[in-house]
Amino acid sequence: MRCSIVALPVLAAATSVVAQAPKPGEDGKYTISSSGIRAQFIPYGATLTNLFVEDKNGEEVDVVLGYDDINYYPKDPGHPVYNSIPGRYVNRIGKGKYTLDGTTYTTELNDGSNTLHSGTNNWSYRVWNVTDHTEDSITFSVRDASNSSQGMLGLVEGQVTYSVSDSTWNIKMEATSPDEKTPLMLTHHTYFNLDAFKNPDTQKIWNHTLYLPYSKRYLVADDGALPTGKIGTAEPGGIDDFFSEPDLFLGHARSDPKFAGNCGGGGACEGYNGYFLIDDAPKDAVVVKLSSGFSGITADLRTDQLGVVVYSCNWMDGTADLKSTQGTKANRKVVRSSCVAIEAQDYVDGINHPEWGRVEKQITGPGQKYSWESSWTFGTL
């Protein structure tokens, strides 16, 4: 009897230690760091809230958008998907319909006549579980029940691991659909301003340079940013050229009359909101280089995906606050064209374009594993 009386409290204590979940800091954020990076996250959307890297003067700069108040992320009516993971099928589904094994499914129309990121209950709206947290890595998991997002059938279990090493931030995602076939395509929706909005000469992103050395081709899109099915080839010096020279400004084509409506929106969307194909890139090659002469910061993307979406923040209306780590006394808001989102992913709406040969690649299950991996390496000019 005495043995069992002594053993019970010990067992209970041991169980409580094993079951104890990782805890955030006092600010509600989970922090990971290395010699060149300090990154912070919250479970809502598995979101990166802050990403600190060193500029040309050796000073720490927060290069991604977000909010100081972590409780505002789920409240923001605009929900710009700041540095989080939408899903289970990212970007647009044309006309809110797709066909699988002869059955047509209807998805929520939340972007005009299209579905964006699987609707208004996509993974960027969910509170993920923190399953592991060390000094230099953190893992989040999500369980997405069948039809939690309209027309997305079958259970999906997903996870993302963020890690840092030296000056590189790694992102690795995996997901499975154990019971049914389902659309599955993920991305990390990362918003950058490498100047942290501190450049006194401009609030805009057009002074950043963008180099896509393997992206001569792009998906031609309609006025609603939905691919038409055609694949275009950029002309050197044209609006969609970021491959011919390594030092082209993001705003290099601003004098072109077509720039003002280049990304649709009835001619109201200036700049970019489209998909650039990555063709014939060697393994582990840098496929995107973003840089700024003001901060001197460079950001190099490596990815196993077939392309990237580039969105130059046209719809930011100047109402969102900057974080306290960003901006100047004269500039405290996120204004139009003041940031750029870069999203590595498979072909947009590829599920509805069999001519591209991506339909089967964008369907997962039953029991198959989906994987996605990218990294950003930061340096200085």
- Chain CA centroid to CA 324, Å: 22
* Whole-number Å distance between alpha carbons of 138 and 133: 4
Residue 270 is among the residues annotated as catalytic for this protein: no
- Would you say the C-alpha torsion 96, 79, 274, 368 has a positive or negative sign? negative
Both structure tokens of 190: 């990362």
Single out the residue of 162, 171, 153, 160 nearest to residue 126, CA to CA.
160
* Whole-number Å distance between alpha carbons of 272 and 54: 27
Single out the residue of 357, 316, 322, 378 nearest to residue 167, CA to CA.
378
**Catalytic residue selected from 188, 189, 208, 353:** 189
The string of DSSP letters for 137-162 reads: EEEEEEEE-TTSSTT--S-EEEEEEE
Helix (H) / strand (E) element for 41: namely strand 38-42
* Whole-number Å distance between alpha carbons of 323 and 301: 24
Both structure tokens of 242: 């970021």
3-class secondary-structure state, position 125: helix
* Whole-number Å distance between alpha carbons of 294 and 303: 27
* Whole-number Å distance between alpha carbons of 214 and 230: 18
**What's the Cα-to-Cα distance from 311 to each of 69, 81, 174, 270, rounded to whole Å?**
25, 12, 25, 10
Q: Are 184 and 142 in contact (CB under 8 A)?
A: no
Report DSSP state, residue 85.
-
Who contacts 168 (Cβ-Cβ below 8 Å, separation ≥6)?
34, 36, 37, 375, 376, 377, 378
Residue 353 is among the residues annotated as catalytic for this protein: no
The string of DSSP letters for 295-339 reads: T-EEEEEEESSSEEEEE--TT--S-SBPPTTS-BTTB-B--TT--
Question: Would you please indicate which residues are annotated as catalytic (active-site) residues?
Answer: 189, 343
